[in-house]
Structure 1
Amino acid sequence: MENIIQIFKDDVRGLGKNILALVIALGLCVIPSLYAWFNIYSNWDPYANTGNVSIAVASSDAGYTKDDGTYVNMGDAVIEQLEENDKLGWTFPATPQDAIDGVYSGEYYAALIMEEDFSQSMYDCLANGMEHPKILYYENEKKNAIAVKITDSGTSSLQQSINQEFTEVVVTTLAENLDTIAGDDDGSLYNQLLTQLNSVNDNLLSYNALLSSFIECNTSLSDTVLDMKTVVSKLTSTMNSINSTANTAKSEAKAAADKLQSGVNTASNVANTAIGVKLNKMAVAVTAANNAVNVAQQQLAKNENPTLIADSLNSTASNMSTISSTALDIANDLEQYKGNGVDDQIVNLQDRLKNMSTRASAAKEAASKAANTSKKVELTAGAIADANRQIISAGIDQAVAQIPSLNQEIYGDLSSKVQQAAGSVNSSIDRTINALPSEQSVDVSGMGDVLDGISASLLAGNDALAGTQTILSNATNKLTNIITQLESVSDGEQYQKLMEIMENDPSLYGEFLSQPVTVTTQPVYETTNYGSAVTPFYTTLALWVGAIILVSLMKVKVVPKGSYQNAKDYELFFGRYILFFLLGQLQSLICVYGDLNLLGVQCHEPGKLYLIGAVTSFTFTLMIYTLTISFGDIGKAFAVVIMVIQIAGSSGTYPIELLPDIFQAIYRYFPFPYAINAMRETISGMYENDYSIYMGQLLIFAVASLVVGLVIRKPFMKVNHFIEERMEDTQLM
């Protein structure tokens, strides 16, 4: 022990006698700190000056005109937004080509170019197949590697901002279309369809009531004919008993028959002329409407152009208009036949025709609205188009398509039965008149059979009308069932909730869905600046560099002399190491003090930072001193190699998980990671016993250094001496 102390005293006296050596020794204590301080300060807040990183932004966007006539230009909007952003050096050349040329020349680090269809792609995405708005990004990767990452970060932030705007525009547009479908209680397409179906159903019920009236009229006429049969029977008895009154009876019967025939002829002429011709015109229109509806159904099923579907529905509407106007013409034509004893029947028929005209007009409106809905399909896409097509399909299949077939049954069958009944009455009256004998002695015994035939004809007409009535009743029942089901859906809770959602303000949905998640950052072990975060790495590196400088400029071997002429190897080892230890501690003290007080790095545990700095310096100086005294210059070189490896693979800057596999496999066998992690505990915050664990792991390298310096180096001492002599022989090394 005395030899160790004596060697240390001689070393201190040697420095004290030589002022230059003392200055150099003190300089060796300060230089490593400068290395740490300059690096920490240069990394203090590197992103504070990103406003000097030039990024060019240019737009050739032509803009877009929305449906309401509003003109928008998202390219100009992005530029206006960036003009207020000072996080990066956004510059705005006159043309896109100027921006691109600036990237190639190195004037700009990167360039963002918005193309001509930028706004259109954003606002018209539903119609153009969801094509994304695009920004061309030019990046000069040669100019600076870190600048590329900064410009990428800025571009990503801009992309996120534009994506939020794009999402808000798309969702708002979609919600506006859904709001059109929902509408209010009276204006929604769903309620319009339900109203049209109810209108058709009411028409069918009216037609059914009309047929009931015809049947009642025929039944009453049949009863009247049967009453005439009783009168004829009495007349025959009277004629047989009073022959003198035969001619008179014949004349009266003749007159009555003529009057009856005149009335029937009048009705027949009405049916066979004005009614027949214009009913034929109505039948043609009904057939054309039916054909147009069938074409619309086929086009919708094949998903053809919505414009063609609209044309077919417009054709249906045109034919329904013809039916409506023709029915009014027939009602007007019947006016001239009043005054012939059939006024009540003509007025009744006129009322029915006007009612039919009203119903046909309603059908025309339904077809026109379906055509307008079809035109909207061409302006939309995706879920909106599908919803519109479903509504058109339901309208065609369950409402408009019913009108042509039911009107065909009503107009065709009804007019046929009316004309048949009128013809039967006319034929019966003709037979009655022809049956009258030409002589004065009239034989009316055959009148009963004739009247029976008239009654049978009327009842047969009733049977035909009853069959038509059955068809109408079946159609009415089916349509009523459909309406009931639709009304039950509209009354359901889910439907009401959907309508409530669809009727809300579209802009609220756009704003919410453009940024559905708000991220709140909760810092854990918060570090105020980047300089404080890298302090553990650069402080550790500075202490290693300081230890290398010490062994490079100061001799590690002691020349035995005087009182320690016979000193042992371990005494020589520790005797000289004490000086290296003290200089290393002074390096650590200066470096940590400057970190805390000159730079002002964040530190939760300053005392523990001094302590781990001292332990780190002790470990590094002992380790490098051992390598040098054991292996000479080879040991020094090995210390430099270890430093280089640890700079790249100690997780001081990049996470170890990002480094190549070789570094992930070997980094735990070097001291840097443990010293750095222990310092991070003091700077950013302590966690349980991690600080003590890291310090204990670091001291393992000190123990290993002692084993090498005191035990393992002994077999290599002669070899090392031989290598040093050979190097001295070169007079260069």
Structure 2
Amino acid sequence: MWDPYGELNKLPVAVVNDDKSVDYHGTELKVGHDLAKNLAKSKAMDFTILKSSRTASSGLKNGKYYMVITIPKDFSKNATTLLNKKPKKMVLNYETSAGHNFTASKMTASAAQSAAQSVSEQVTKTYSKTMFASIKQLSKGMKSAADGSKKLASGGNKVADANQQITTGLNTLATSSLSFTNGANTLNQGLDQYINGVNQVASGSQTLTNGIDQLNTKSATLASGVSKLAAGSSSLSSGLDTYTNGVNSVNTAANNLNSGASALNNGTAQLSSSSNTLNSGLGQLYTASQSLTANLQKVSAGLNGSTTQLNNSIADLKSQLANNNSTQAETVKNDLATLQTAAKQNNDSTTAQVSQVADQQGLTADQKSAILAAVSNSNSSALNKAADALSTDLSTMMSAQNNAGSAIDSFQTSLGNSQNELATTIAQLAGGSQQLTSQLGDAYNGMTQLNSGISTLSSSTSQLASGTNQLSSGTSQLANNSTTLNNGASQLNNGINTMNSQMPSLTSGVNQLATGANTLNSGISQLVANGSQLTNGASQLANGANQIASGDDTLANGSTQMGSGITQITNGNQTLAKQLANGAKKSNIKASNLTYDQIAKPTTTKHKERDSAPNNGTGMAPYMMSVSLFVGALAFNLMFDGYTPRKYPHSGFSWWASKASVTGLFVLAESTAIFLLVSAIDGLDPVHPFATFGMLFLTGLAFMAIVHWLNLVLGKVGSFFSMILLVFQLGGSAGTYPIQLSNHFFNSIHPWLPMTYTVNGLRQSLMIGDSSLPDMTVLLIIALVFSGLSILFFIRRKTRINEIDFTKEAAEHSIV
């Protein structure tokens, strides 16, 4: 029993690996293989890797192995179910055989639990690596999103500049449309005057034709007709002047209309190109914003799930710590109160018994008081010190519990604040991005409609430019021909005057004049017929000019509003880029193996051993030494006659002294032998060697005094009661397990057993290093009490023996 825990590497354990490796985020996860490999290399026990479960079970059955560890086939697969709706635990199966050896089954079970803990740390470390890899991807995604948002902001600025140019062009177009409307109205008025003049020309031409016909048919009335012809010629001259002025006005207005239509055509072409560019940019913005919103929503959802799982794990840990430690502390406190009450009752009972014995022995009052004081003080002092030590341990344990709870609360609060800030920021980014996406969609649809209207306007302005060009060409021809017409009218007037003065020469040209009058009448009729079409076209042109002016104003206002919206989009993109950059900076965590180890095993223990107990033998030495000294007292009293004197004693004390000298020498010899042999052979190294030897000697004296007195008083029955006392002390002295783990009976007799004080005193001198003086005092009192009882026995027996029975011959035949 000296050092069995130092030989655990010789304890055979079988390991069967049925696990199948799985793929986890691109990494081959083979937890079972790694566990079996580590166990094979471990020196904690003699692990043997087997391929067959049947072989392992057979070895456990016949005692070849003390434990069989079986790694199931879904061991690695269950490690990947952490984020599933119903995650599965990794179950490590182990089987022991307590029937072959109960202690070995407990030792191997502890090893299996340690292996399971090691696997848990390994799997948690793998989870941590995966989690931090995801966080790095999140950081990179945020940085990319920030860069894209900056590009969006830059593109927004360019779009704002282009929109400003469009607004300027639309304002110019609106101004030109106003001039174009004015010119169209002027053209309409000139055409009305022109139609009136043409009607007058038609009327005069008809009159001329009629007159010529009359001149041709009625020569008699020629003179009167010539006079009327002179008057009509004057009217014709005046109408032609009016017609010439109208044609010049129409020509001027047509030229202005042609110039405005060309400028309008160029402006609408530039507007159509710019709107197409703007529409394409808005479509790209809308697509990028939709992708950004979806990614941010995924990030926010993933972060909330990890936070909930991590907070639930911390709460479970805190609850387990609080429940376990609080329950144990309350149990120990209750046991302490019960122990103190029972001790007080037992102390009172012992005092009464000692007082009764003192009265029976006829002791004096002073002797009786001294014995009672010694018994009371010894029991109370030892018990009070034990109670104080236990109370101090309870306070330390509860303080450690409170500190652990506070540390967990602080860690949970700090982690919760950091995760809440990150979750809030990402949720705000997702909401802002979703709102931006909606606004970009509205802007994209509105721009599509605007682009369609601009294309229609461009087509109409092209047709208008073509028509005004034709109109300008026609009026130019009219202006050129009006000069000729004006000259002809002047010549006609001169000719009529000449004809009026020279009537005889007119007759020969009447036929020619009739023919020319018919031709003139036909042309003027065509002018009258086409005048209505020209008037209708001018009216349509005026109405179109008004519509163009109204559309230009609407476009200019819409472009201004769109410029304001583009400015808001640009500002929003800049804010989004800034927030994404901050989020990427905060989430850029540089994890290392130390980080993974910290998450896999966030808490550890720091053990400080107050006492020196290097092995199992040193821990068991106080108990085994005490048992061996009691067995020595039993064996010695079986061989030695502690009653019969070799010669007649002169007093009861001398009779006792003759026997005590022999027993004392034996106690000294056995104490010395135990101390030297255990130190030399087993390597026992006491903290206080002299105190250890003193404790051994006093233990031997106390046990010898008890056994000797029982044999003196009861004889063979006393030897039987000595064995019963040894059995009680084996279970009630707390030499192996703490007395709190025993039942109520052994807890009750524990303070009254001599071996309780021998075990405690030897622990103080061998390992703890504190003073053994209180226990030595108790043992000395026990030895003195039972020695005193033996002396009283010999004093009473002295009166029953005679000196004649101790002759020389009788002494020679004595066996003592």
The TM-score, its normalising length taken from structure 2, stands at 0.61
Query: Residue 592 in 1 paired to residue 591 in 2?
Result: no
CA distance in 2 between counterparts of 1:381 and 1:111 reads: 42
SS of corresponding position for 2:620: helix
1:353 maps to what in 2? 276
Contact kept in structure 2, 1:180 and 1:188, CA below 8 Å:
no
Task: Determine the structure 2 residue equivalent to 1:546.
Answer: 632
Report the equivalent of 1:320.
none
Is residue 700 of structure 1 aligned with residue 658 of structure 2? no
Pair 1:100–1:512, CA change in 2 (3 A):
same
User: Which residue, out of 699, 702, 709, partners 1:619?
Assistant: 702
**Are the equivalent residues in 2 in contact too, given 1:193–1:395 (CA < 8 A)?**
no
2:36 partner letter: I
Change in CA separation of 1:384 and 1:589 when aligned onto 2, cut-off 3 Å: closer
User: In angstroms, what is the RMSD of aligned CA positions?
Assistant: 4.8
Contact 2:153–2:571 at 8 Å: present in 1 too?
Answer: no
Distance 1:219 1:465 in 2: 9
Amino acid at match of 1:618: L
CA distance in 1 between partners of 2:733 and 2:257 (Å): 127
- 2:183 paired residue number: 228
Secondary structure of the equivalent of 1:700?
helix
* CA spacing shift, 1:365–1:541, aligned 2, 3 Å: same
**Cα distance change of structure 1 residues 187 and 717 upon mapping to structure 2, 3 Å threshold:** farther
User: Secondary structure of 1:111's partner?
Assistant: strand
Matched, 1:404 2:441: yes
Summarize the Cα distance change of 1:626–1:361 in structure 2 as closer, same or farther, 3 Å threshold.
Answer: same
Gaps (5+ residues) in structure 2?
A: 198-237, 309-421, 476-526, 800-816
Alpha-carbon distance in structure 2 between the residues aligned to 1:614 and 1:162: 52
- Tell me how far 1:542 sits from its aligned partner: 0.6
Equivalent-residue separation in structure 2 for 1:341 and 1:488 (angstroms): 44
- Using a 3 Å threshold, how does the CA distance of structure 1 residues 642 and 498 change in structure 2: closer, same or farther? farther
Question: Deviations along 1:658-680, whole A, 9 cap, x unmatched?
Answer: 33344333312212232222222
SS of 1:382's equivalent?
Answer: helix
CA distance in 2, matches of 1:467, 1:664: 99
Q: By how many angstroms is 1:374 displaced?
A: 8.2
1:461 to 551, 557, 568: 551
Q: 1:499 aligns with which of 587, 590, 597?
A: 587
* Residue of structure 2 equivalent to 1:150: 107
Count of aligned pairs: 586
TM-score, structure 1 length as denominator? 0.67
Amino acid at match of 1:223: L
Secondary structure of the corresponding residue to residue 105 of structure 2: helix
What is the 5 A alignment of 1:620-699? 620-687=703-770, 690-699=771-780
- Change in Cα spacing, 1:110 to 1:256, as seen in structure 2 (3 Å) is same
Deviation at 1:558, TM superposition (A): 2.7
CA distance in 1, matches of 2:703, 2:659: 15
Q: Partner of 2:350 in structure 1? A: none
1:311-390 equivalent positions in 2, closer than 5 A: 342-343=265-266, 345-365=268-288, 367=290, 382-383=305-306
Q: How far apart are the structure 2 equivalents of 1:500 and 1:701?
A: 74
Task: String of CA shifts for 1:326-347, please: whole Å, max 9, x gaps.
Answer: xxxxxxxxxxxxxx98355324
Do residues 243 (structure 1) and 242 (structure 2) align? Answer: yes
Q: Quick check: which one's helix share is greater? A: 2
- Percent of residue pairs bearing the same amino acid type: 17
Match of 1:168 in 2: 125
SS at match of 1:349: helix
Q: Deviations over 1:180-230 (max 9, x none)?
A: 0012xx863652674476378558746854762563244223332255268
Q: CA deviation at 1:157?
A: 2.3
Determine helix, strand or coil for the equivalent of 2:68.
Answer: strand
Q: Distance in 2 between matches of 1:489 and 1:377?
A: 15
Q: Secondary structure at the match of 1:401?
A: helix
**The one of 578, 594, 597 aligned to 1:511:** 597
SS at match of 2:98: coil
Cα distance between partner residues in 2 of 1:594 and 1:360: 97
Alignment partner, residue 648 of structure 2? 563
Which of 2, 6, 12 is equivalent to 1:54? 12
Inter-CA distance 716–161: structure 2 relative to 1 (3 Å threshold): farther
Distance 1:216 1:463, change over 3 A: closer
Q: Deviations over 1:482-524 (max 9, x none)?
A: 44554554576xx5763342xx145442133223455454432
Preserved contact between residue 276 and residue 451 of structure 2 (Cα < 8 Å): no
Give the letter aligned to residue 586 of structure 2.
Answer: L
Identify if the C-alpha distance between structure 1 residues 220 and 399 changes in structure 2 by more than 3 Å, giving closer, same or farther: same
Question: Conserved in 1, the CA contact under 8 Å of 2:656 and 2:794?
Answer: no
> Paired residue for 1:64, among 22, 26, 41?
22
Question: Radius of gyration: which is bigger?
Answer: 2
Indicate conservation of the 8 Å contact 1:197/1:398, yes or no. no
* Contact residue 18 and residue 71 of structure 2 kept, 8 A: yes
Measured against aligned partners, the alpha-carbon deviations of 1:423-474 in whole angstroms (never above 9, x if no partner) come to 799899999x9xx995698999999998886665445435544664576466
Alignment partners' CA distance in 1, 2:542 and 2:796: 148
1:556, 1:576 within 8 Å by CA — same for their partners in 2? Answer: yes
One-letter identity of the residue aligned with 1:86: K
1:303-318 mapped onto 2 (5 Å cutoff)? none
Q: 1:169 deviation in Å?
A: 0.5
AA in 2 matched with 1:364: T
**Separation (CA, whole Å) in 2 of partners of 1:476 and 1:259:** 36
Residues 449 and 233 (structure 1 numbering): CA distance in 2 closer, same or farther, change over 3 Å?
Answer: closer
Residue identity opposite 1:224 in structure 2: S
Task: Give distance in 2, aligned partners of 1:389 and 1:712.
Answer: 94
**How far off is 1:480 after superposition?**
5.0
2:235 aligns with: none
Match of residue 49 from structure 2? 92
Shift of 1:245: 1.4
CA contact (8 A) 2:14 2:67 kept: yes
State the secondary structure of the residue aligned to 2:642. coil
Q: In 2, are the aligned partners of 1:421 and 1:458 still within 8 Å (CA)?
A: no
Q: Which SS does the other structure have where 2:50 is aligned?
A: coil
Deviations 1:381-401 (A, max 9, x none): 933999799599448613433
2:615 to 529, 532, 548: 529
Asked if 1 retains the 8 angstrom alpha-carbon contact of 2:183 and 2:257, the reply is no
